[in-house]
Structure 1
């Protein structure tokens, strides 16, 4: 029974990683939207076409510790990327939480990865 569960878990992880890689490979532009202050309304703040920056974001997402979770946040996301990723700034303003839309996948990025992603998205430092 444990062997079957381990194989099933490994297969699910493999399918998730392959799906993320396919999604990521299709990203040639990152469209960053920021919440305007009006609930549910977003404004495009950045469009990233620089290959190195896109690859950095893809690498961050591929190496993140994703959890299978139905997440219910108390407020709408602060940012969206390509309408695929919802991103929240933690209350301490030192980390980012990311949800893959429609996939029930959640991660809280490390402080270092949060700073990197935030800098790419906004050209500013997280917490400023």
Structure 2
């Protein structure tokens, strides 16, 4: 009986660790729809559609390995880009808003309606931005 208490304690701790390591964001879809802001207003136009499975997986890997913060943020201006995943004729409910830092070396992401925010490292920012836009982050005007 004493051994069962230890087993249950071990299982409970293990499950809490697994739950704590999960970012809780499930990304589904086999293509990415990217929109770019038009002018200074909150208006967007279709920019790019990514259907290459390797490229889509690369973006998923970056987003899933990111430590998202629970935060409601208010930015000074609308996002530069928005993107979402789509699959089986259904769009994901998760819309990712992307802002480019003034130094053009980092990006900040917010998941609309989820209260999730992150500022990516320089390397992750460059990789993600170039993957979804085809433009080097340092070349943005």
TM-score, normalized by the shorter chain, greater than 0.5: yes
With structure 1 as the length reference, what TM-score do the two structures score? 0.82
- Counterpart position of 1:79: 81
Aligned residues: 116
State the Cα RMSD in Å: 2.0
- Which 4+ runs in 1 deviate beyond 3 A? 7-14
- Counterpart position of 1:125: 136
- Counterpart position of 1:4: none
**Does residue 49 in structure 1 map to residue 60 in structure 2?**
no
Report the Cα distance in structure 1 between the residues aligned to 2:59 and 2:102, rounded to whole angstroms. Answer: 22
- Counterpart position of 2:11: none
With structure 2 as the length reference, what TM-score do the two structures score? 0.75
Which of structures 1 and 2 has the bigger CA Rg?
2
Q: Secondary structure at the match of 2:67?
A: coil
Report the Cα distance in structure 2 between the residues aligned to 1:72 and 1:8, rounded to whole angstroms. Answer: 32
Report the Cα distance in structure 2 between the residues aligned to 1:47 and 1:27, rounded to whole angstroms. Answer: 12
Structure possessing the higher relative contact order (Cα contacts under 8 Å, 6 or more residues apart): 2
**Does residue 106 in structure 1 map to residue 108 in structure 2?**
no
Cα deviation, 1:49-77, whole Å, max 9, x if unaligned, reads 01111111111111112100000000000
Q: 1:72 to 1:10 in 2, by over 3 A?
A: farther
Q: Secondary structure at the match of 2:48?
A: strand
- Counterpart position of 1:35: 37
More helix by percentage: 1
5+ residue gaps, structure 2:
1-14, 85-93
What is the CA distance between 1:12 and its match in structure 2?
A: 6.7
